[in-house]
Structure 1
């Protein structure tokens, strides 16, 4: 039990929550992090998955050097995909060294105390905690999007890709995967690896693939294609990835278009060879409906240039992404949620990720409508953490934010043998 009011309480212990906690602690603030480190990544992402981002763009945000992914794995080169298990281990190493006091509990309700102006947070342990600021680092789970055209299927026949950590249960079964992005294509490959018979139904006329990274591009190549950033290569991409504050200055319609079109559905370059004859792919097919039939699913599609089809499957997986929606954050008390100004279902945020409710902040996908597409990726965590921590510290002190403590020691270094092993050439 905690009798005092914390300076900040963070809902969630994924990359954004851990990064923000590390920066808040750097200011010497009393911070509570509710959640098990990397639980969503470990429990809801499919086994065998690889990250799409490059190593330099897969780091959590720390207030000092030495805690990046490439510090933990100094031999990891660009162009070498990161296995899910390796990233989860890195995130937990980060938590152990920088945020060691995460609380293994769930937040059930966040409300604001009318007279005091601070927040009351009901936990699964039964405790009602108090905090002057609440940071919603809830990730994407609440925003899983299944198209309404699939609503004719019962839950046991149609699931979202985020519901599957283990695909082995589909061995020998026909599975229709809806989508054309990395999630859909990698899910289909992993289904094939598990002995299933996947069918990908893609709206696009042809699949898109990310380009193979060039280890050391020439000066001419860099000048023509632009700098390399956490979202890829290009001048505008670099701006959105490395300076998200600029995105917030754009008109609302421009930001929406930017979030919708930047880094559109595409497969990682390293996945292309694995999408082989085991996976049937039908492009240019728009799903128009679905129904249950004889214990299985029938998905109806229409071609963009005419023609209709019906596709039978034992199960349907909607790898159709995530759509932020303030109304789906049900741990916010209804009255409190009603005080948060929203536009197109996303909270309207200030320059420090602050909502229209003083002391209430939103991170990750929930902030993408304000700060752009980088907030859909781990790479946005450091910028977010720095902005929020400085603002919370300034509110707590009532003056311009300055670090209240000296930087903590760097996380424990790898032993010489471990570092040498990581740095050794990979076969």
Structure 2
């Protein structure tokens, strides 16, 4: 039985596994390394965050993005956007040098068993672990507007579903959204010969400003401090004090996670976008129907006027919704037993990222309502990894020696046909509020 199984091998999973190995734990790391970055972002995209705030986390502080770029003769400079491909390659390099070997398997189920967990994989026998960390990234939480969900296959897609946009050359594409993914996808479509149109509910687009230099007069630096999530005191708090966010009331944390650092485009994208992409702002999508091979969108303006947009394809760059209900690899009974943050569908977590089920830890997007918006970005991996591994070590110490038996399962499995969900028994909350 391993001390820790980490499910997911993106920036969070790799960082957690590196810290766990550095702490002397027996750890298994499962998943496709950097899968979201390698498989679900169109070629030609750039990293929005600054290179110095986009490091994966090793316990000794080594293996930074700048270290990787130096080995390849590349520049990782403040104020200079870095290609997504370079960042993906950095993650693969980090995986080889800083983390335990990644096992590229598909996890199908995580279920409590005995004093730990059974982790089923598609490619072999199940694994047993004393603790599990779920660092599954964003792909389980893809959000499509309700109006698009009944369209036939091929009429619409999510922005994360594309690696190559050249197939849309010569075609009209409606891109829904107002954030970086929508704006950059639309710009790339135009540059690849497509005819995109951006549709957004917002009445105006927000653009980030050119970053201030790192070296500035002291008063200016004090007035607008740099942080991993941008410039200014509010961004600094979200970036540097996730532990303080966790002390806030649940409703406040939910609001912060939902609204802080809202949709905005990178400063370096603005000219590329505005020169080539027409926009329909203040338009709400209320209906979508397939008409032959095309899609007809019914839109409503803020003034209540109806607008019809006919297009060859719709790309929804509408983000991701953290929701435990979508985490299908986690046993349904266990999901139902977890304490959640306020009215959200995200797990309430200890200071060490442990859920109300002892030994089950979370990282990444699902933790934003507990620790704030930093958890939506690579920058949050540094805060998460060390604290989560300390939480694992604390949990392992609290459990003491294992009996080796898997017969004492203090748990009712998920529902059978028509049956009630499983419930936790003998697993009280063990962390302070």
Tell me the TM-score normalised to structure 1 length: 0.89
Are the equivalent residues in 1 in contact too, given 2:17–2:100 (CA < 8 A)? no
Residues 1:237 and 1:276: Cα distance change in structure 2 (over 3 Å): closer
2:369 is the alignment partner of 1:362: no
Q: Which runs of 5+ in 2 are unaligned?
A: 401-433
- Superposition map of 1:388-407 within 5 A: 388-398=388-398
How far apart are residue 289 of structure 1 and its match?
1.4
How far apart are residue 394 of structure 1 and its match?
2.4
Partner of 1:36: 32
1:39-92 CA-to-partner distances (Å, cap 9, x unmatched) read: 221011111111110011100011013211122225411111110110011101
How far apart are residue 21 of structure 1 and its match?
0.3
Query: Hey, what's the Cα distance between the residues in 2 that align with 1:394 and 1:204?
Result: 46
2:13 is the alignment partner of 1:17: yes
Aligned length: 393
Match of 2:47, SS state, is: coil
Are the equivalent residues in 2 in contact too, given 1:152–1:292 (CA < 8 A)? no
Partner of 1:419: none
Larger RCO, structure (CA 8 Å, separation 6 or more): 1
Partner of 2:268: 270
Match of 2:196, SS state, is: strand
Are the equivalent residues in 1 in contact too, given 2:173–2:314 (CA < 8 A)? yes
Are the equivalent residues in 1 in contact too, given 2:9–2:35 (CA < 8 A)? yes
Query: Hey, what's the Cα distance between the residues in 2 that align with 1:313 and 1:47?
Result: 23
Query: Hey, what's the Cα distance between the residues in 2 that align with 1:203 and 1:35?
Result: 36
Are the equivalent residues in 1 in contact too, given 2:109–2:120 (CA < 8 A)? yes
Partner of 2:219: 220
How far apart are residue 277 of structure 1 and its match?
3.6
How far apart are residue 153 of structure 1 and its match?
2.0
Query: Hey, what's the Cα distance between the residues in 2 that align with 1:204 and 1:190?
Result: 21
1:184-241 CA-to-partner distances (Å, cap 9, x unmatched) read: 00000111122110010011111110010111333332233x3110111111221111
Query: Hey, what's the Cα distance between the residues in 1 that align with 2:39 and 2:132?
Result: 25
Match of 1:280 among 278, 281, 292: 278
How far apart are residue 338 of structure 1 and its match?
1.8
Q: Which runs of 5+ in 1 are unaligned?
A: 401-427
In terms of mean alpha carbon deviation, does 210-219 or 177-186 score higher?
A: 210-219
Are the equivalent residues in 2 in contact too, given 1:153–1:291 (CA < 8 A)? yes
Partner of 1:306: 304
Partner of 2:348: 348
1:84-129 CA-to-partner distances (Å, cap 9, x unmatched) read: 110011101111001241101110111011xx22100111112110
Are the equivalent residues in 1 in contact too, given 2:28–2:100 (CA < 8 A)? no
Runs of 4+ in 1 over 3 A off after TM superposition: 397-400
- Superposition map of 1:227-242 within 5 A: 227-242=225-240
Partner of 2:417: none
Are the equivalent residues in 1 in contact too, given 2:144–2:318 (CA < 8 A)? yes
Residues 1:239 and 1:276: Cα distance change in structure 2 (over 3 Å): closer
Match of 2:298, SS state, is: strand
Match of 1:298, SS state, is: strand
Query: Hey, what's the Cα distance between the residues in 1 that align with 2:250 and 2:178?
Result: 27
In terms of mean alpha carbon deviation, does 153-162 or 78-87 score higher?
A: 153-162
Are the equivalent residues in 2 in contact too, given 1:291–1:297 (CA < 8 A)? yes
- Superposition map of 1:125-144 within 5 A: 125-144=123-142
Match of 1:108, SS state, is: strand
In terms of mean alpha carbon deviation, does 329-338 or 311-320 score higher?
A: 329-338
Match of 1:394, SS state, is: helix
In terms of mean alpha carbon deviation, does 292-301 or 25-34 score higher?
A: 292-301
Match of 2:263, SS state, is: coil
Partner of 1:93: 93
Are the equivalent residues in 2 in contact too, given 1:202–1:284 (CA < 8 A)? yes
How far apart are residue 249 of structure 1 and its match?
0.5
Query: Hey, what's the Cα distance between the residues in 1 that align with 2:287 and 2:184?
Result: 24
Partner of 2:431: none
